[in-house]
Structure 1
Amino acid sequence: MAVPNYLFLFNSTLSPTAVAYVNASPGPSACPCADWAPLTMTTVIPTIYSIICVLGTIGNALAVCVLAHGSSSRKTVANTFMLNLCVSDLLFLLSLPLWAVYYSRGYSWPFGRVACKICGALNNLNLYASIFFITCMSMDRYLAIVHPLRSQSARDPKRARLMCILVWVLACACSAPTLALRDTYHLEGLSVEACVILYPNHAWQLTLAWMKIILAFLLPLLAISCCYCAIGRHLLSDTGLVRMQSQSHPSNVPSFRSSESQEGCCKPERPPTPCVSPSSSGGRPSMGRGVEKVLWTVAAVVLAFFLCWFPFHCVTFIGILSSKGWLDSCWVSWTISNLTPLTLCLGFSNSAINPVLYCFIGNHFRGRLGGLCKGLCACLKARGEEHSQKRGSFSTRLSSFSRKLSDFKDLAIVETSGPP
Structure 2
Amino acid sequence: MMGAAKSVSDEQPWWNDISKEFNETYDSDGNFSYEEGDVCDVIDGTKFEAVFIPTLYSVAFVVGILGNGLLLGVLFQSRKRWSVTDTFILHLAVSDVLLLVTLPLWATQYASSRGWEFGTGLCKITGAIFTINFYCGIFLLACISFDRYLSIVHATQMYNRRNPWVVHASCLLVWFFSVLLSIPDWIFLEGVNNDRQSRTLCIRNYYKFNLDVRAHKIATRALYHTLGFMFPSVVLTFCYSCILLQLQCGTKGLQKQRAFKVIIAVMAVFFLCWTPYNVVLLVDTVQLNNNTGTCETNISLSKALTVTSSLGYLHCSLNPILYAFVGVKFRRQLLDILRSLGCKLKSTVKLESRRSSVWSDSGETSKSIAI
Q: TM-score range by the shorter chain?
A: 0.7 to 0.9
Give the secondary-structure state (helix, strand or coil) at the position aligned to 2:115: coil
Letter in 1 for 2:60: I
When residues 317 and 377 of structure 1 are mapped into structure 2, their CA distance, relative to the original with a 3 A threshold, is same
Q: Distance in 1 between matches of 2:155 and 2:114?
A: 52
Change beyond 3 A, Cα 1:330–1:162: same
Q: Is residue 212 of structure 1 aligned with residue 209 of structure 2?
A: no
Where has structure 1 moved over 4 Å in runs of 4 or more? 4-8, 24-31, 33-37, 149-156
Whether 1:184 aligns to 2:181 is: no
SS at match of 2:50: coil
Question: Structure 1 counterpart of 2:92, which letter?
Answer: L
Residue 163 of structure 1 is matched in structure 2 by 170
Question: Which residue in the other structure is 2:337 paired with?
Answer: 372
> Does the CA-based 8 Å contact 2:40-2:295 persist in structure 1?
no
Map 1:374-393 to 2 at 5 A: 374-377=339-342
Match of 1:44 in 2: 52
Tell me if structure 2 keeps the 8 A contact 1:183–1:195.
yes
Corresponding residue SS for 1:98: helix
The CA deviation at 1:327 is 4.2
Work out whether residues 65 and 317 of structure 2, in 8 Å CA contact, stay in contact via their aligned partners in 1: yes
Q: Distance in 1 between matches of 2:171 and 2:156?
A: 23
Which protein is bigger by CA-based radius of gyration?
1
Amino acid of the structure 1 residue aligned with 2:260: L
Correspondence for 2:142 among 135, 158, 163 = 135
Counterpart of 2:290 in structure 1 is 325
Q: What are the Cα deviations for residues 360-418 of structure 1, in whole angstroms up to 9, with x where unaligned?
A: 0111111122223333449xxxxxxxxxxxxxxxxxxxxxxxxxxxxxxxxxxxxxxxx
- What is the alpha-carbon root mean square deviation over aligned residues? 2.5
CA separation of 1:25/1:317 partners in 2, compared to 1, >3 Å: closer, same or farther? closer
Contact 2:142 2:232 in 1 (8 A): yes
Counterpart of 2:220, as a letter, is L
**Distance change (3 Å), C-alpha of 1:107 and 1:291:** farther
Specify the SS of the correspondent of 1:196.
strand
Mark the CA change 1:376 to 1:328 in structure 2 (over 3 Å): closer, same or farther: same
2:7–2:194 Cα contact (<8 Å) kept: no
- 1:87-111 alpha-carbon deviations (Å, 9 max, x no partner): 0010111111111111111461111
Partner residue of 1:280?
A: none
Q: Does 1:303 align with 2:300?
A: no
TM-score scaled by structure 2?
0.81
2:155 to 140, 148, 154: 148
Conserved 8 A contact 1:89-1:351: yes
Aligned residues: 325
Contact preservation (8 Å) 2:147, 2:158:
no
Match of 1:278 in 2: none
What percentage of residue pairs aligned between the two structures are identical? 30
Q: 1:34 to 1:371 in 2, by over 3 A?
A: same
**TM-score (norm: length of structure 1):** 0.72
Name the SS of the counterpart of 1:193 in structure 2: strand
SS in 2 for 1:189: coil
Equivalent position of 1:83 in the other structure: 90
Which secondary structure state, in structure 2, belongs to the residue aligned with residue 328 of structure 1?
Answer: coil
* Residue 150 of structure 1: how far off its partner (Å): 6.0
The residue that corresponds to 1:16 in the other structure is 13
CA–CA separation in structure 2 for the residues paired with 1:151 and 1:121: 31
Amino acid paired to 1:127: F
Return 5+ residue gaps in structure 2 as ranges. 344-371
Runs of 5+ consecutive residues of structure 1 not aligned to the other structure: 240-273, 275-287, 379-420
Matches within 5 A, 1:216-295: 216-239=228-251, 274=252, 288-295=253-260
Aligned in 2, Cα 1:306/1:320: closer, same or farther, shift over 3 Å? same
Contact 2:123 2:202 in 1 (8 A): yes
Per-residue deviation, residues 255-301 of structure 1 (Å, max 9, x unmatched): xxxxxxxxxxxxxxxxxxx2xxxxxxxxxxxxx12111111111111
Instruction: Determine the C-alpha separation between the residues in 1 that align with 2:114 and 2:98.
Output: 22
